[in-house]
Amino acid sequence: MEKNGENRLNLDRGLAFAYRVGDFVENRIGKMLAEEKRAAPILEEGTMAYPRVWYRVPLADGLAGDGSEYHIYIKAAHPDKLVIFFSGGGVAWDAYTAARPVTGGKVAAGLPNYYWNNLRPFTQIMNINIGITETGNPQNPFEDWSFVIITYATGDFHVGDNEYHYRDEVSGEEGVVHFHGYRNFLAAMHKARELFPKPQRLLIAGDSAGAFAVPALTPEIMDLWYPDVRDITCLSDSGLLCYPKWRETARTIWKTGREIYEAIETDNILLDWYRRLYAAKKDTIRYLYASSTHDYLLSAYYNDIVNREFTSDAEIQEAFHERLLELLAALKGITQEFCFFINRIPNHFVIKKGMRGGTIHTCLRERFFYTPAEEGVSMAGWLSEALQGSAKDVGMGLLEDRDIPNKREEAGTGQTPNRLL
């Protein structure tokens, strides 16, 4: 008994130390950005943006999940070409996950954490100047595109409109999450139309949690904000998370608009929102989806939903792969014009014990954007060709030689397969 108590004390001390180290590293990075003037400058109201320079744009009507200030990032380049990009950063789907936002300390200590709830300086490195958002890189075919980065700090796939109260796990006091994603989206779009009023081409893209926002909010972007644009492409990068209670989450926890939650009919929220999008817009836009075959991070989220364990190993990643096959079949079932970029770039990032292996999570805003993957094609090249009207599937040979189009009838039923998860 005495030995167990001593072990418990040592473990608690170790967690506390790791927590402090993680917070120190995060704060040091934020301080470095400020001291070395690497933080994006603020674009003051009424001033012009220099071409191909990233700016922060504070939005008075925006609000992060913890109640702090909200801003987006913009880059002005060619006025005819605009990217509206939805950032990712986790998700809260119930009371337990809502009470556990991400901090550097929690990550270092291996404590449960599910979504970013503010835009502290550290989060700049996740939003700009990497992958598709990189400036000064001749390999980037989107260097001359204007950008609006709709940042994410609400855990609600950018569609929430609720003040959600919960009990803090540490203090026991009542806390609140401002599921303010939809209001932030509206404020961002007001600014987007002010700065970029008449683009001729539009790429609506998002990675991770932002991938889900793409089909959910594209109809509104097209109908209300840019109704005259005829050349539109949608891309979701790494958006697959099955949960049988998504509709309940959207309706009662995030409190989305009725048209958003009523479209959720299965456990696959991304698929349901793409079905809604296609029903409204048919083949007037291009549809693109990207994923790695055994996403280490999405498989961990899925494992947490089903087994209450935020871990990822080979068996769990294989279960994710099975769900990916079903999703791709169902997307092809919506329209054969849906095109995919599938890769198997290995994941070498280890968050903690029990969280390793598999393949990477997202390419769009990572160095992997330029990495030749299957068939020697990079995501940068694939996406550039797609926007020029030459969309194609890449990496389909990684899918166990299955005939994806022929699986469409059995996919998207809303039933969780009877397997490991």
Neighbours of 420 (CB within 10 A): 13
* pLDDT confidence of residue 352: 58
314-334 vs 296-307: helix crossing angle, rounded to 10: 100
CATH of 40-410, one of 3.20.20, 1.10.3470, 1.10.1060, 3.40.50: 3.40.50
What's the rounded Cα separation, in Å, for the pair 226 and 146? Answer: 15
pLDDT at 36 over 70: no
Out of 73-77, 89-93, 168-172, 368-372, least confident range: 168-172
Mean pLDDT of 56-61: 97
Q: Could you tell me where the beta strands, DSSP code E, fall in 59-153?
A: 71-75, 78-86, 145-150
Neighbours of 93 (CB within 10 A): 25
* pLDDT confidence of residue 174: 85
What's the rounded Cα separation, in Å, for the pair 303 and 79? Answer: 44
Out of 8-12, 255-259, 386-390, least confident range: 8-12
Q: How many CA atoms lie within 13 A of 361 on its CB side?
A: 26
Query: CB neighbours of 362 closer than 8 A, spacing ≥ 6?
Result: 88, 207, 208, 237, 238
What's the rounded Cα separation, in Å, for the pair 214 and 143? Answer: 22
Mean pLDDT of 86-107: 86
- pLDDT tens digits, one per residue of 173-188: 788 999 999 999 999 9
Structure tokens at 401: 């030689």
Q: What is the pTM of this model?
A: 0.88
Residue 224: DSSP 8-state: I
What's the rounded Cα separation, in Å, for the pair 239 and 271? Answer: 9
* pLDDT confidence of residue 355: 72
* pLDDT confidence of residue 349: 73
Residue 108 near residue 18 (C-beta atoms within 8 A): yes
* pLDDT confidence of residue 402: 53
Mean pLDDT of 375-394: 96
Taking alpha carbons only, the member of 287, 279, 387 closest to residue 328 is 287
Residue 289 near residue 338 (C-beta atoms within 8 A): yes
- pLDDT tens digits, one per residue of 198-232: 999 999 999 999 999 999 999 999 999 999 999 99
What's the rounded Cα separation, in Å, for the pair 407 and 325? Answer: 8
* pLDDT confidence of residue 354: 64
